[in-house]
Amino acid sequence: MRCENYPKTAFYDELIDEHGAPRPTAKALCAHLDAQSADELRTRREAIDAAITTMGISFTVYSDAGNIDRAWPFDLIPRIVPESEWRKIDAGLKQRLRALNMFIEDIYNEQDIIREGVFPADVLDGSVNYLEACEGMKLRHGAWAHICGTDLVRGGDGVMYVLEDNLRVPSGVSYMLENRGLMKRLLPELFTDQTILPLDDYPTRLYEMLASLCPRDTDRPVIVVLTPGVFNSAYFEHSYLAQQMGAYLVEGSDLSVNGDDIVTMCTVGGPRRVDVIYRRVDDKFIDPEVFHPDSMLGVPGLMRAWRAGKVAIANAPGSGVADDKIVYTYVPDMIRFYLNEEPILPNVPSYLCMREDDLAYVLAHLDELVVKPANESGGYGMLIGPKATEAERAEFAKLIIAEPRNYMAQPMLALSTVPTLIGDALAPRHVDLRPFILQGKEMSVTTGGLTRVAMREGSIVVNSSQGGGSKDTWIVKEGV
């Protein structure tokens, strides 16, 4: 398996440079791959696939034919980022989440950013994620989005851009951790030739962050992970994180709120007070007294207990007001407004269809742009203009014209590639990266993240629900 046989690509490749040589931090990996035969790599891949099946690492795809559990798609060729570059990414992600949390608290209170003309009031008026029930709340440590998964992409210029921020119930961190575990078990020799920074401490950091939110003075806060249940697509992650943290995994029916606004959990020893809820249930389903009255996923009275300061919820209700692809375009302005700093990480250039000039440009250039709805995720509801038919673009134009506030557009980036094992050969495939940032009393960023890869040739859709896979992400010390 020779890296020198890797086909040249018109895109920026993160392991192999434009001359066909390994980039400095990829030399050890390429030397290892060059020493492996196709049969050896095939055996390794089969062992990884068997381990994934045995360990039950899966995700759920929703379809009209029913929910389908699938084994986690994993590629054994890692993605490498130099530590020197990662230091800048780490600082930029912390800066970004700090500003986003200040924005959320401001929006539910004084709204200084609107009064100063930095953020348009009509963007907030059109937000489906703004929750009146959160007005007037000020939270411990000023943190609302305690766990953020920020999606990064590298363009053809080699620059890492922020594609979007996931602030409601970001998922994928368990797969990031399992990817590293698989690589260590099945290709341990790769970790001996270089210094790869660890990320195994995430469950400990997550627990410490959640514990720092505890509303009462206790050395042993009771922390639960609130899951919608076994049929949720991320249930593997919910159970995995609860087990890794030593927290309780509960469903809404396991919790109740008493007359003193205290949340209790049913146990064999009787009711037990809950201090912190790491919720993996969407806002509108967490409390049927306030939101959807027919929701069976939430807990009646939970918002009342939260507002009374008797329980902490991560991520906090209402944090989704900043998890909007339209709001995303204003994050650089938030950083300048709240922090008086210039953004460290750039946004992808964007057009807002709610602006008359931008709308005209988008409609005239649908064949060149990627158009996204404000609040969809997982790659759903978007138009990839260069790959769409003329009829598809015409239908999408009607949707944009009918509801311009709900759409934004971006140029189709020439996403970077990473060598990926396709059959018995290495082939370039497009990737993105989702690091995870924690903010409670302290702030931390995972040393790496979940690299998602578009397994289909030419595709830029990396979501596992639409055929994407994943890779381990290595942050490598240079010169060691």
Q: What pLDDT digit, counting tens, does each position of 195-252 carry?
A: 899 998 999 999 999 999 999 999 899 999 999 999 888 898 999 999 999 999 999 9
Tell me: the pLDDT tens digits for 55-68?
777 655 544 444 45
Topology given in CATH for the domain delimited by 85-148+195-339 = Rossmann fold (3.40.50)
- The structure tokens listed for 117 are 């003309």
pLDDT in tens, 408-462: 999 988 899 999 988 888 899 999 999 999 999 999 999 999 999 998 888 887 7
Burial group, residue 301, by CB count within 10 angstroms (0-12, 13-18, 19+)? buried
Q: How many CB atoms lie within 10 A of CB 478?
A: 12
28-58 core/surface letters (b: 16 or more CB in 10 A; e: else): bbbebbeeeeeeebeeebeebbebbeeeebe
Cis preceding linkage at 315, omega within 30: yes
- The predicted model gives 67-90 an average pLDDT of 85
Q: How far apart are CA 281 and CA 265, in angstroms?
A: 17
> What spatial distance separates the first Cα and last Cα of the chain, rounded to whole Å?
25
Q: What is the DSSP letter of 22?
A: B
Q: Determine the 3-state secondary structure of 107 from DSSP.
A: helix
Question: What pairs with residue 58 in β-bridges?
Answer: 71
The CATH code for residues 351-411 is: 3.30.1490.270
Tokens of residue 230, six digits: 């076994």
Do 398 and 391 meet the contact criterion of CB atoms below 8 Å apart? no
**Angle value at C-alpha 321, between 320 and 326, nearest 5 degrees:** 110
pTM of the model: 0.92
- Cα Rg for the chain, rounded, in angstroms? 23
Q: So where are the chain's domains? A: 85-148+195-339, 351-411
CA distances from 297 to 226, 287, 291, 305, 443 (A): 9, 8, 12, 17, 30
